[in-house]
Structure 1
């Protein structure tokens, strides 16, 4: 497809009322909302070193957590000529992993630290469209808005912050002419898995004193995590957990009893199992002495007896005693 033909196709689809695909919607946003020209061949804007340093500083904790995951992802895809990129919520590339032999090519494309790949700046592209729509996307070659980007294949997944807001995008880009859509699907699956891992690890690091529990038994909801404090109050929830439990979509979580949240979806058994294990450990360490176990748990003896009754603890291998 020639440069002019691609630009003409994008322009036609952007203004067609009958074009209803997600791709056409992104092209339409790029042209009509953001006023971009698909034939524009200028490279992406790049932040100055000082501007980029400020963004790094603001997200230092997140970048520290994400770094090892970027290394692992690049180990899997780097030898095939792929570039691994991590951006902020505005599409600015903050970190990357690329082989030295491929670096010059990707720098020429503008896929480099400090470059701005928002949809408002570059039109339909993996990073920008992922952030604009808050979902996993693959933008393959001539699906890009700008003709200059049609040599790229970009696989992206969003990363949500502990407050439920969009935090970053994880991208794997390839400029290989023989990059197939089938191979893109394999890479896309790995990108999504890595994005969820980064999201979960950053959530855990954001609540270092809390117990982290799964909010769902659904194997497809492994990123649905709750942070529970020492008083058994849920004080944090991932984006997935907020959706599963019907919590506020964004912002600080209003503390509430974890058993209330988990009980609403029939997940109390898993929570009780953890509490029962904690009580049994305390009793074992106290050699069956309920008073000593209660002191170790920081509760009164009567409170511990009530919890034991609720949890079905009526005996202990070492025998129970009150004193």
Structure 2
């Protein structure tokens, strides 16, 4: 029966690939096509996933070490959510190599035998269609459920994966939740997918904030992938960085971000006139001085190095005296 099932899986793949329309309409079929045409893989090859040597693994771990460190709490929280459902959690690099892992000790042998372990190579080029490798190839959250996998030996797995983008909008890692259980319902898979994407976003946001430690972080409008993007704004209110979601939302590129520009131009959708910018800047300085002085005009004037009379004239000109 097992042999018949394996033969059926391979036949189904080749039958699907013979239909050009199916390949064009299905993301899974497109990945199957890459597995055969681009990588020359056979769905029935039975060798286990390739595993890095220790020196290669150590080098890969060192490259991602800062992200791995800041991801620890998110990995723990995600595993607490999905571990009891027979799932393991993997954090991989952009080559599809798991570098950190969470799992229940009683399930470890099964997961190790399936290759769901640190140091294994789960790229599409190596394993064909699979959660991690296909997420890396396509740069989007996805679930590869059981017989959607390319290799016959992987059709017992269900893998939900979300990409993690660095502060310049480049793929840096993936977060994977995998299980060997056959009884997960579609509703449960949706919950796992939601938890995985949420955890990936937390890691990504933390990484972005760490990349701009002295900047003010502004939550921007939703990007194409959903979720508010992040903008890094300096003391001069100039945009100096944007997360991938913000880049998608505002059409920002490395070239545009290479020259800092006013956050107001981006967020308000128009450029302020020079006199308006000067007035807004002065208003901000005065308002901050008043706030720090708890509304005391004399104290605020001293902090700004002007007389009390000058301060009152500024308040009147800027329309702040009435606001008080």
* Secondary structure at 1:154 match in 2: strand
Equivalent residue number for residue 270 of structure 1: none
Task: Spell out structure 1 runs of 4+ moving beyond 4 A.
Answer: 249-253, 275-279
Select the residue among 212, 229, 232 that pairs with 1:227.
Answer: 232
Q: Does 1:288 align with 2:297?
A: yes
Equivalent residue number for residue 135 of structure 2: 130
Equivalent residue number for residue 298 of structure 1: none
Equivalent residue number for residue 26 of structure 2: 21
Contact 2:222 2:249 in 1 (8 A): no
Structure 1 residue 224 displacement after superposition:
0.5
Measured in 2, the distance between the counterparts of 1:227 and 1:23 equals 37
Q: Which runs of 5+ in 1 are unaligned?
A: 267-272, 296-300, 318-323
In terms of mean alpha carbon deviation, does 179-188 or 90-99 score higher?
A: 179-188
Equivalent residue number for residue 274 of structure 2: none
Q: Which runs of 5+ in 2 are unaligned?
A: 272-279
* Secondary structure at 1:230 match in 2: coil
Q: For residues 257-272 of structure 1, what are the structure 2 equivalents within 5 Å?
A: 257-264=262-269
Contact 1:160 1:199 in 2 (8 A): yes
* Alignment CA distance shift 1:57-1:305 (3 Å): farther
Measured in 2, the distance between the counterparts of 1:33 and 1:223 equals 36
* Alignment CA distance shift 1:8-1:250 (3 Å): farther
Contact 2:221 2:228 in 1 (8 A): no
Contact 2:135 2:141 in 1 (8 A): yes
Q: Does 1:82 align with 2:87?
A: yes
* Secondary structure at 1:313 match in 2: coil
Equivalent residue number for residue 196 of structure 1: 201
Contact 1:237 1:253 in 2 (8 A): no
Measured in 2, the distance between the counterparts of 1:8 and 1:93 equals 30
Q: Does 1:100 align with 2:98?
A: no
Q: Does 1:38 align with 2:43?
A: yes
Q: How many residues align?
A: 304
Contact 2:241 2:257 in 1 (8 A): yes
* Alignment CA distance shift 1:245-1:11 (3 Å): same
Structure 1 residue 221 displacement after superposition:
4.7
Give the greater-gyration-radius structure (CA).
Answer: 2
Q: For residues 140-219 of structure 1, what are the structure 2 equivalents within 5 Å?
A: 140-216=145-221
Q: For residues 28-67 of structure 1, what are the structure 2 equivalents within 5 Å?
A: 28-67=33-72
* Secondary structure at 2:91 match in 1: strand
Q: CA RMSD in A?
A: 3.0
Contact 2:94 2:174 in 1 (8 A): yes
Equivalent residue number for residue 6 of structure 1: 9
Per-residue CA shift, 1:9-38, capped at 9, x if unaligned? Answer: 112222321212111111001111111100
Measured in 1, the distance between the counterparts of 2:78 and 2:6 equals 33
